[in-house]
């Protein structure tokens, strides 16, 4: 097996999972990255736009658009950062928490089906190997930038 095969497989899994998620949310009022934003913000209650960009792997322009959409739908609210008035914090609303719970159910269902037949020990091993790979990718990105 070649290193390229592993990366190609990771990319293929990512592509297929995104297709599955998009299919499951097709009747929703949110698109994929909007769903991910609501979900991730709900995990930490509030976040800066820069941190949201980092979490989702998107640029500031796309984050601004997503924030505007989510704010219009009342899933999030912008508040002044008391420590640094140069930027706002984005906070999840109760309505946003409900939408995040739906996304969590979707992700749990997909995870259970994807990991079917893989033992807990194998899942733990996979998790730690992917975590190392992710750490390497973050380090590589820092070197490139």
pLDDT for res 48: 86
Phi/psi of residue 89, each to 5°? -110, 145
Mean local confidence (pLDDT), 64-68: 93
Q: Which domains does the chain have, with CATH numbers?
A: 3-105 (1.10.10.10)
Residues in the chain: 145
* pLDDT tens per residue, range 94-142: 999 999 998 899 999 999 999 999 999 999 999 999 999 989 988 887 8
Among residues 1, 6, 2, the alpha carbon closest in space to that of 137 is found at: 6
Integer Cα distance of 64 and 129 in angstroms = 33
Q: Phi and psi at residue 39, in whole multiples of 5°?
A: -60, -50
**Cα torsion angle, 114, 117, 123, 127, sign:** negative
- pTM value is 0.78
């Amino acid at each position: 097996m070649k290193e390229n095969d592993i990366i190609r497989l990771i990319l293929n899994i990512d592509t297929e999972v995104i297709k599955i998620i998009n299919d499951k949310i097709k009747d929703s009022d949110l698109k994929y990255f909007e769903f991910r934003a609501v979900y991730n913000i709900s995990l930490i209650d509030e976040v800066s736009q820069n941190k949201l960009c980092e979490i989702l792997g998107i640029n500031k322009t796309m984050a601004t658009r997503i924030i505007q959409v989510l704010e219009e739908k009342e899933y999030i609210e912008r508040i002044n950062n008391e420590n640094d008035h140069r930027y706002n914090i984005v906070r999840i609303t109760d309505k946003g928490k409900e939408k995040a719970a739906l996304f969590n159910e979707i992700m749990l269902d997909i995870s259970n089906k994807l990991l079917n037949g893989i033992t807990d020990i194998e899942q733990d091993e996979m998790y730690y190997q992917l975590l190392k790979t992710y750490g390497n990718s973050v380090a590589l990105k820092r070197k490139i930038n």
